[in-house]
């Protein structure tokens, strides 16, 4: 490109000599012959000192602010830094003019908004690139970013590369440094977002007013209102006073955003209502202009709600549909280092955040404190070689909001870490708070003495500080590591080292989780549990078994093998191979022999063998023995419907207060229950155990194994009638859960159950049951709900618990799930759990896969997966939920509903009638299309037709035929329910629907 073109309107006089420029550089050492060198005065180096070097290396010309040595080919400009942006843009073809470019500016929230907006753009089908604090990313490529806003040359070169690879939309974080240093000059922005303005960078800007005017320049100098954006081009957070000022000073319309729910926010273009904001995330309804939608996000906190609304407003302004905004928001699982959640096995809430300013730290801590039901433990420091005035301020803020403050190092750089800490502590001491000496956490007993600790401690080693935060924590505590966020390094006065807060916290949790290893087994322990001595024991060592296994495929070398038998398998057949593999212990049926060829014949090295009449009974005895010696309490949950969901809700609630073990997978029978209990450790305080049955006598045996302290019966309906014949018999069998409850136990019963009298009578006649608690739909129950509202995929209700009332939220649109929640809440009340912990736990519940879990496919079709199992009651509940969801305007449905239903098994002689009634229910609810699979579902067809459904809206056939018809019928916005008994394998429909319907909607979009 000609030099004259690059310098047009930059240099007032015409160039005497024009020349072709092959490239541009800001580093003299990178110059190649024929390139243009831009001499820029920086803070660590001055490019003007390297002009001669650049010319010697063959630079065609140099652009500089001065030329003291009067060298040839040096072109002087007023501001070479400002000229650099314009020259770079021209050299790379002004790429921003062909892109939809969004700039995000403000003190806090920029990075989070770029991640949110990126997902919304991707959901809309845009090809998106991002330039931000964490990295530059597009088309799967990620490049680390040294600064929030790169230098002008990098910006223009990257935009050109993005454009060449097909990127259409770019989101850029725009910092005040980037604006003041003219890095974005030459960029043409289509949309700008203002987040907020708080104290930061005052070592660079003279004061807050100067800082504000620097940010304002972005909107006045760089936006192109109305060029590419079909709606408003500036999105401003009106909840920030500087944002409100900016909106009033701009001379073009802006999209105003507010997270306030007060009356005066109704004039805002983007606003919210019915917000649930917990430690688990944010849920609610959002108004975008004239559109309304339900939304959910894994992010938490008021400031993140503001970030969400800013991103949604920008997406809406860019023409993204509300349903795509909804999908993009749900797809954003978190932002690196921005109140980022760290998964852990300890039931603690761990967060890592980049907050390194007083305003950001206060915002994060205030957010977490408002949502804390236990202690808030904060680990933080301040960076070296940075604004020292904020150190005592941040100390005061941390102390004000935290129960435990641990002051440590951040990036000390060239400063002494202890001196930085002392300046932080000076602010803390001004509050009258003393600093406690570093705790001795060398063993469990000493750690427990800090379980209720509140105060301030300090340690210059950040590793020790983070480890201590975990070691003194207890279930439900929040731990925040603030200051470093996404950084994977620490800059010290001896150099830069690898350091990642997330890794350090995870390692500390992993070490602490070792206390939850199941209790080991000596030979005497096993003998005591089985009430029999080993039939064979040639070992003369103190060998200890680490666990009990019933699976020859996954058994570990230090576990003992228990050989189960069934109708189609016999574990005894695997014993010879297991002996060869070195397994050292077996529990077998009486009479089973392990001959000498199958043994290691070395003296004292043969396997230990226990012989029992019934190995299934032996498994139960071992499970009960483990339950007893662990000292844990047991919550046992059974019922015809909802026991798995109730179990998951109870686990989520109990984990807020106690170290809790819970049933995994479908371990709810005479094999599964003891397997769950065998995982107990001495550190567990509660076990939440699901119990299922389909034959008389099973529940009593499960009760003997578990020895429950709290017994929950969710309901009794017509399920498993082949084995139990009548619903009353189901109730009588479920009541046997009380049989082996421990003394002083509590029974929790559904007050609305038509057979509750049977359950109550059995509980009252069981001496161990000390108290009966009921849950139900009205105040005749001990625990009940009012004001139940479902919208946008959420259900809200007022829970009344022993005279106390609180608002609860469920991540489920199904109103009937409220009864499962009430059962869990009643159990929690019996266990002494506080209501705030109940609220936090219930908010953490996520629907079980295959149990009314909802997903929205990329094409906008909503799929309800309820394939785990089915009986008449659960079928009705699912159909009602389907009908309600399709009518909810917040879900952007078309109102069209599709039900794919399979047979309900084990219903006994009433099966035909019960299937027919399901078909009638579907017709009464106005289901648009009914597709039926299985021989028994033909009776659903008859019921639907008898109730008035048109013949062409009901179909009974094979899976392939149903898939073909569904694919031909559905369109974006439709709701589909898939449900049937476990034996019908209805989950195969889900997998096929996910593929077929995505392809279908994609083709419709092209048409």
Q: Please state the residue numbers annotated as binding site for ATP.
A: 106-112, 639-645
- Binding-site members for meso-2,6-diaminopimelate are 386, 410-413, 483, 487
User: What gap in Å lies between CA 240 and CA 213, rounded to an integer?
Assistant: 15
Q: Beta partners for 746?
A: 710, 771
What contacts 495, CB < 8 A, 6 or more positions away? none
Phi-psi region at 977: left, alpha or beta (left = phi > 0; alpha = psi -120 to 50): beta
Q: Is 494 helix (H, G, I), strand (E, B) or coil?
A: coil
User: What gap in Å lies between CA 808 and CA 999, rounded to an integer?
Assistant: 39
Q: Are 428 and 461 in contact (CB under 8 A)?
A: no
What contacts 652, CB < 8 A, 6 or more positions away? 841, 842, 844, 845
Whose CA is closest to 437, among 422, 454, 458? 458
- Binding-site members are 106-112, 148-149, 175, 181, 183, 386, 410-413, 483, 487, 639-645
Strands 975-979 and 897-902: parallel
Q: Are 372 and 475 in contact (CB under 8 A)?
A: no
User: What gap in Å lies between CA 357 and CA 389, rounded to an integer?
Assistant: 11
**Alpha-helix runs per DSSP H in 402-555:** 417-429, 444-448, 462-471, 501-512, 523-530
Q: Are 670 and 700 in contact (CB under 8 A)?
A: no
Q: What is the 3-state secondary structure (H, E, C) of 499-523?
A: CCHHHHHHHHHHHHHHHHCCCCECH
Whose CA is closest to 666, among 645, 681, 695? 645
Q: How far is CA 95 from CA 98, 100, 187, 226, 413, in A?
A: 6, 10, 8, 18, 38
Q: Beta partners for 489?
A: 498
Query: Sheet holding 478-482: strands in order across?
Result: 340-341, 349-353, 478-482, 376-380, 404-407, 455-458
CA angle 674, 675, 681 (to 5 degrees): 95
CA angle 481, 485, 490 (to 5 degrees): 90
User: What gap in Å lies between CA 620 and CA 670, rounded to an integer?
Assistant: 7
Query: Sheet holding 608-612: strands in order across?
Result: 547-549, 559-562, 585-589, 608-612
User: What gap in Å lies between CA 805 and CA 797, rounded to an integer?
Assistant: 10
CA 746: distance to chain centroid?
34
CA 813: distance to chain centroid?
19
User: What gap in Å lies between CA 5 and CA 92, rounded to an integer?
Assistant: 12
Phi-psi region at 725: left, alpha or beta (left = phi > 0; alpha = psi -120 to 50): left
Strands 340-341 and 404-407: unpaired
The torsion angles phi and psi of 634, rounded to 5 degrees, stand at -125, 130
Strands 169-173 and 128-131: parallel
Contacts for 236-239: CB closer than 8 Å, 24+ residues apart: 236/193, 236/194, 237/106, 237/194, 237/195, 237/196, 237/306, 237/309, 237/310, 238/268, 239/306
User: What gap in Å lies between CA 551 and CA 847, rounded to an integer?
Assistant: 29
Task: Annotate 559-571 with DSSP letters as a single string.
Answer: EEEE--B-SS-BG
């Amino acid at each position: 490109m000609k030099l004259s073109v690059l310098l047009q309107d930059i240099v007032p006089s015409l160039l005497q000599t024009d020349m072709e420029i092959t490239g541009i550089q800001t580093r003299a050492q990178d110059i190649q012959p024929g390139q243009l060198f831009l001499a820029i005065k920086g803070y660590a180096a001055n490019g003007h000192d390297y002009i001669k070097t650049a010319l010697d290396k063959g630079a065609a010309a140099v652009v500089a602010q001065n030329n003291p040595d009067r060298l040839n080919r040096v072109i002087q400009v007023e501001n070479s830094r400002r000229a650099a942006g314009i020259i770079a843009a021209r050299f790379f073809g002004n790429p921003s003019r062909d892109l939809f470019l969004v700039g995000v500016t403000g003190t806090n929230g920029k990075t989070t908004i770029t991640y949110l907006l990126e997902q919304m753009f991707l959901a809309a089908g845009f090809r998106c690139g991002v330039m931000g604090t964490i990295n530059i990313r597009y088309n799967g490529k990620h490049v680390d970013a040294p600064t929030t806003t790169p230098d002008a040359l990098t910006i223009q070169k990257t935009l050109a590369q993005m454009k060449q690879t097909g990127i259409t939309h770019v989101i850029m974080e725009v910092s005040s440094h980037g604006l003041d240093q003219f890095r974005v000059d030459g960029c043409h922005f289509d949309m700008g977002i203002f987040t907020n303005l708080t104290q930061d960078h005052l070592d660079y800007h003279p004061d807050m007013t100067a800082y504000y005017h620097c940010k304002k320049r972005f909107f006045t100098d760089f936006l192109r209102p109305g060029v590419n954006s079909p709606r408003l081009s500036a999105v401003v957070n009106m909840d920030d006073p500087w944002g409100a000022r900016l909106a009033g000073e701009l001379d073009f319309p802006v999209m105003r955003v507010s997270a306030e729910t007060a009356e005066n926010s109704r004039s805002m273009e983007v606003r919210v209502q019915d917000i649930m904001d917990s430690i688990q995330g944010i849920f609610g309804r959002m108004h975008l202009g004239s559109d309304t939608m339900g939304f959910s996000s894994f992010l938490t906190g008021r400031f993140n709600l503001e970030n969400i609304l800013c991103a949604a407003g920008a997406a809406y302004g860019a023409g993204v549909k509300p349903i795509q905004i909804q999908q993009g928001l749900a797809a954003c699982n978190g932002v690196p280092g921005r109140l980022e959640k760290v998964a852990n096995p300890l039931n603690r809430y761990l967060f890592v955040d980049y907050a390194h300013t007083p305003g950001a730290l206060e915002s994060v801590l205030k957010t977490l404190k408002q949502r804390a039901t236990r202690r808030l433990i904060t680990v933080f420091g301040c960076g070296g070689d940075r604004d020292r005035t904020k150190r005592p301020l941040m100390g005061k803020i941390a102390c004000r909001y935290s129960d435990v403050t641990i002051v440590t190092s951040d990036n000390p750089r060239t400063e002494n870490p202890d001196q930085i800490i002392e300046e932080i502590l000076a602010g803390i001491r001004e509050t009258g708070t003393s600093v406690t000496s570093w705790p001795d956490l060398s063993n469990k007993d000493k750690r427990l003495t800090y379980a209720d600790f509140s105060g301030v401690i300090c340690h210059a080693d950040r590793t020790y500080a983070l480890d201590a935060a975990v070691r003194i924590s207890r279930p439900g505590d929040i731990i925040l590591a603030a200051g470093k966020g996404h950084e994977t390094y620490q800059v010290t006065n001896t150099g830069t080292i690898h350091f990642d807060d997330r890794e350090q916290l995870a390692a500390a949790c992993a070490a602490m989780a070792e206390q939850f290893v199941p209790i080991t087994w000596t030979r005497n322990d096993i003998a005591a549990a089985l009430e029999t001595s080993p039939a064979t024991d040639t070992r003369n060592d103190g060998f200890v078994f680490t666990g009990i296994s019933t699976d020859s495929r996954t058994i570990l070398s230090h576990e003992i093998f228990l050989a189960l038998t069934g109708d189609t398998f016999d574990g005894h057949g695997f014993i010879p191979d297991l002996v060869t593999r070195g397994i050292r212990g077996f529990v077998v049926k009486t009479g089973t022999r392990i001959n000498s060829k199958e043994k290691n014949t070395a003296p004292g090295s043969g396997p230990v063998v226990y012989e029992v009449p019934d190995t299934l009974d032996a498994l139960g005895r071992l499970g009960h023995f483990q339950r007893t010696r662990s000292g844990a309490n047991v919550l046992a949950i059974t019922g015809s419907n909802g026991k798995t969901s109730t179990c998951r809700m109870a686990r989520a609630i109990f984990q807020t207060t106690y170290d809790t073990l819970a049933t995994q997978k479908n371990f709810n029978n005479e094999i599964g229950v003891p397997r769950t209990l065998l995982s107990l450790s001495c550190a567990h305080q509660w076990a939440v155990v699901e119990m299922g049955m389909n034959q008389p006598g099973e529940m009593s045996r499960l009760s003997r194994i578990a020895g429950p302290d709290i017994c929950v019966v969710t309901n009794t309906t017509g399920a498993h009638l082949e084995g139990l014949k009548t619903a009353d018999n189901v109730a009588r069998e479920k009541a046997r859960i009380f049989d082996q409850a421990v003394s002083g136990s509590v029974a929790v019963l559904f007050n609305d159950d038509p057979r509750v009298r049977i359950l109550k009578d059995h509980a009252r006649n069981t001496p161990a049951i000390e108290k009966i608690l009921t849950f139900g739909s009205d105040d005749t129950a001990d625990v009940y709900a009012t004001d139940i509202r479902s919208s946008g995929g959420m259900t809200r209700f007022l829970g009344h618990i022993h005279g106390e009332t609180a608002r609860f939220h469920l991540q489920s649109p199904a109103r009937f799930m409220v009864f499962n929640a009430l059962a869990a809440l009643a159990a929690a009340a019996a266990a002494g759990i506080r209501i705030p912990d109940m609220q936090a736990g219930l908010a953490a519940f996520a629907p079980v896969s295959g149990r009314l879990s909802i997903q929205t496919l990329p094409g906008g079709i909503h799929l309800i997966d309820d394939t785990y199992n089915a009986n008449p009651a659960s079928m009705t509940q699912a159909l009602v939920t389907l009908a309600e969801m399709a009518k909810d305007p917040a879900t952007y449905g078309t109102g069209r509903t599709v039900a794919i239903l399979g047979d309900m098994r084990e219903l006994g002689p009433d099966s035909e009638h019960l299937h027919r009634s399901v078909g009638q229910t579907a017709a009464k609810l106005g289901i648009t299309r009914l597709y039926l699979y299985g021989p028994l579902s033909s009776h659903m067809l008859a019921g639907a037709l008898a109730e008035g459904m048109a013949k062409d809206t009901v179909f009974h056939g094979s899976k392939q035929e149903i898939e073909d018809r569904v694919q031909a019928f559905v369109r974006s916005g439709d709701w589909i329910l898939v449900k049937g008994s476990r034996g019908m394998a209805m989950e195969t429909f889900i997998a096929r629907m996910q593929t077929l319907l995505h392809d279908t909607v994609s083709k419709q979009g092209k048409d």
